[in-house]
Amino acid sequence: MEELITANQLVDYGDSNIITLEGLEHVRRRPGMYIGKLGDGTHVDDGIYVLLKEVLDNCIDEYRMGAGKAVDVRVKDGHVEVRDYGRGIPLGKMVEAVSIMNTGGKYDSKAFKKSVGLNGVGTKAVNALSSTFIVQSFRDGQSRKAEFGKGKLQSDSDVFADNSDRGTYIYFVPDNTLFENYIYKDEYIETMLRNYAYLNTGLTINFNGKKILSKNGLTDLLNENMTAQPLYPIIHLKGEDIEIAFTHSDQYGEEYYSFVNGQHTTQGGTHQSAFREALARTIKEFYSKNMDLADIRNGVIAAVSISVEEPIFESQTKTKLGSRDMAKDGVSVNKFISDFLKKELDNYMHRNSETANILLQKIQDSEKERKAIAGVTKLARERAKKVNLHNKKLRDCRVHFNDSLTKDENKNAAIENSSIFITEGDSASGSITKSRDVNTQAVFSLKGKPLNSYGLTKKVVYENEEFNLLQAALNIEDGVDNLRYNKVIVATDADVDGMHIRLLLITFFLQFFPDLIKKGHVHILQTPLFRVRNKKETMYCYSEEERLAALAKLGANPEITRFKGLGEISPDEFKHFIGKDMRLDQVSLKKEDAVSDLLSFYMGKNTPERQNFIIDNLVVEEDV
């Protein structure tokens, strides 16, 4: 092989290629290693929210250690201020604590026994990725203040007298050369802050003048997030290092909110898996019946929070717990949660017979439905296997065929990086297929309009070929944890039929896979309505306002094209709309979005009522 490589094919590799990165330069060069993706604030997992979370984690750690009962947060015009009333960073090491990697007090388990951040990176990453970063610590009548720019020290005061309350003040402005055109969304920040409050009853968070606190912990969390009515009062159990709350509803699937040391583990982990297993087995043993664990969990809405010494997370952004032990004494997470539930939940069920009876009826109803569709399910699985998904319905992406990755790594890569476009018709799917990034973007083609699934049982998922094949393509039959794509993107024409297909698909997901929407996986692709161009410039417009602005900019007599369908957009043009600047609207659910009422009104049999609603809200589009 060596003879085949000529000298001019070799890349020079000498002393000059060996680079030592000083200070926080590595964070700036490889930000994804520390905060995940950069983003512009459009999505809840964008980097600017991770920066805020890293600062807040330190404040929460102070509260959990018994220092300070309030945190002040102010976010305005992209500038962030956070002030806690904890112990304050030791003044002599304040600059090092926010600027030198692997420096911090959390390596000492006496000072921070059950902390979220244990690797001495968080605040340093914020410093490195901010155009301006100011830290000030207040301790025992003294203070010190330092300012940085992109991780480099700009000024540092001597220790001076200051009688302010103890604690730490952080001010930062994310670097807009990294986070281009970023904007903070208050609703994303509020959700983050409410989660902190639910997990730390007694803590008050003041956000832009609004007070956020919780009296009932995880019970408040479930009440604020449930979009279906609970079948019985929320069961709330607390012990040392553990808090659990759960109930059941008539929705399909399972819905979990899990936390470790106050950190929202959005991707679950060992504690969530242990809870799922222990909950089902404890309930099964209570009734002493031969129950299927899936029937017990069907419709469950639950939250679990545990505290772990020196937790191990599977990524720097701490969204999935990897720890198998609670602490150095070797007690496993699985045994800890299982023992707690066996004792506390069993006692609760014996004391609350009405709740136990309601839960038993729910489990029996789930079992009855599962058995009713058992035969259909088997046939549907066989049919899905026979249909050549990878050539006929699904054009998959290469990330799923990387055999050099382990199973877990392959799954994580797919979850983080891949997306699937669900579109209708050969023309539209053909345009997207030719324009997509084949490494990370898949395309699923529907055949005509899908069925209105409102009011139907899950049997229709297997009986209807389109739904059966879509479920198989997404790999969600056994739950969202097995989802093959991070983003499920509904890509339909911007006309009445396209809107109808969107509604039918969203109805399908809401009916049978609501967690797909609640976890933020479902999006709507926005494509331009107009192309406005002259000989020098082409502008794509997503609204009438953008069209008018384009006309004003391009002057007299530009060519205007109104795109009626995705198939009308050439592949060369389409690649601009599904690349890095792709516009997506995330489908989300709030408590006030009562799912059953929404579906009943928009997808039910109340045609006259809906007709009047359409007439009253009709907007006529003028010809262009």
At 490, which CATH number? 3.40.50.670
Quick check: is 519 in a domain?
A: yes
For position 98, which CATH number holds? Answer: 3.30.565.10
* 456 shares a domain with 358: no
Confidence band for 81, pLDDT divided at 50, 70 and 90: very high
Helix (H, G, I), strand (E, B), or coil: what is residue 220? helix
Give me the pLDDT at residue 617, please: 74
Of 319, 351, 371, the one marking the end of a domain is 371
Quick check: is 4 in a domain?
A: no
The Cβ of residue 482 has, within 10 Å, a number of other Cβ atoms equal to: 12
% of the chain beyond a pLDDT of 90: 40
Most confident of 24-33, 390-399, 573-582: 573-582
Quick check: is 623 in a domain?
A: no
Of 315, 336, 371, the one marking the end of a domain is 371
Q: What is the mean pLDDT of the chain?
A: 83
Quick check: is 545 in a domain?
A: yes
Helix (H) or strand (E) holding 161: strand 160-161
Is pLDDT at 606 greater than 60 in this prediction? yes
Confidence band for 190, pLDDT divided at 50, 70 and 90: very high
Of 319, 341, 371, the one marking the end of a domain is 371
Name residue 395's beta-bridge partners.
443
Confidence band for 221, pLDDT divided at 50, 70 and 90: very high
* 281 shares a domain with 337: yes
The separation between the first and the last C-alpha atoms of the chain, rounded to the nearest angstrom, is: 64
Confidence band for 604, pLDDT divided at 50, 70 and 90: confident
Quick check: is 558 in a domain?
A: yes
Quick check: is 19 in a domain?
A: no
Give me the pLDDT at residue 309, please: 77
% of the chain beyond a pLDDT of 70: 84
- Structural domains of the chain, count: 4
Mean pLDDT of 2-13: 47
pLDDT in tens, 417-467: 789 999 987 777 888 888 898 888 999 998 888 888 888 888 888 888 889
* 313 shares a domain with 244: yes
* 500 shares a domain with 454: yes
* 136 shares a domain with 44: yes
CA triple 145-151-156, angle to 5 deg: 25
For position 307, which CATH number holds? Answer: 3.30.230.10
Give me the pLDDT at residue 22, please: 58
Mean pLDDT of 77-95: 93
Mean pLDDT of 342-355: 95
CA triple 599-600-605, angle to 5 deg: 120
Give me the pLDDT at residue 408, please: 55
* 398 shares a domain with 263: no
**Cα–Cα dist 225/68, whole Å:** 28
Q: How far is CA 616 from CA 56, 168, 191, 555, 601, in A?
A: 46, 54, 34, 37, 15
Is pLDDT at 5 greater than 60 in this prediction? no
* 148 shares a domain with 48: yes
Is pLDDT at 403 greater than 70 in this prediction? no
Q: Which amino acid is at 559?
A: E
Domain of 193?
A: 25-212
Tokens 């664990």 correspond to what residue? Answer: 293
**Cα–Cα dist 255/239, whole Å:** 22
Is pLDDT at 500 greater than 70 in this prediction? yes
Quick check: is 5 in a domain?
A: no
Token digits for 324?
């198998």
pLDDT in tens, 132-186: 999 999 999 999 999 999 999 999 999 999 999 999 999 999 999 999 899 999 9
* 202 shares a domain with 56: yes
Quick check: is 240 in a domain?
A: yes
* 378 shares a domain with 501: yes
Give me the pLDDT at residue 89, please: 92
Tokens 């969530």 correspond to what residue? Answer: 272
Helix (H) or strand (E) holding 530: strand 530-533
Confidence band for 11, pLDDT divided at 50, 70 and 90: low
Helix (H, G, I), strand (E, B), or coil: what is residue 236? strand
* 126 shares a domain with 144: yes
Confidence band for 119, pLDDT divided at 50, 70 and 90: very low
Is pLDDT at 90 greater than 80 in this prediction? yes
For residues 254 and 515, the answer to whether their CB atoms sit within 8 Å is yes
Give me the pLDDT at residue 115, please: 52
pLDDT in tens, 296-317: 999 999 999 988 877 776 665 5
* 556 shares a domain with 611: no
pLDDT in tens, 49-75: 989 999 998 998 899 888 889 999 999
Helix (H, G, I), strand (E, B), or coil: what is residue 436? coil
Give me the pLDDT at residue 21, please: 53
Give me the pLDDT at residue 387, please: 59
* 161 shares a domain with 48: yes
The Cβ of residue 392 has, within 10 Å, a number of other Cβ atoms equal to: 11
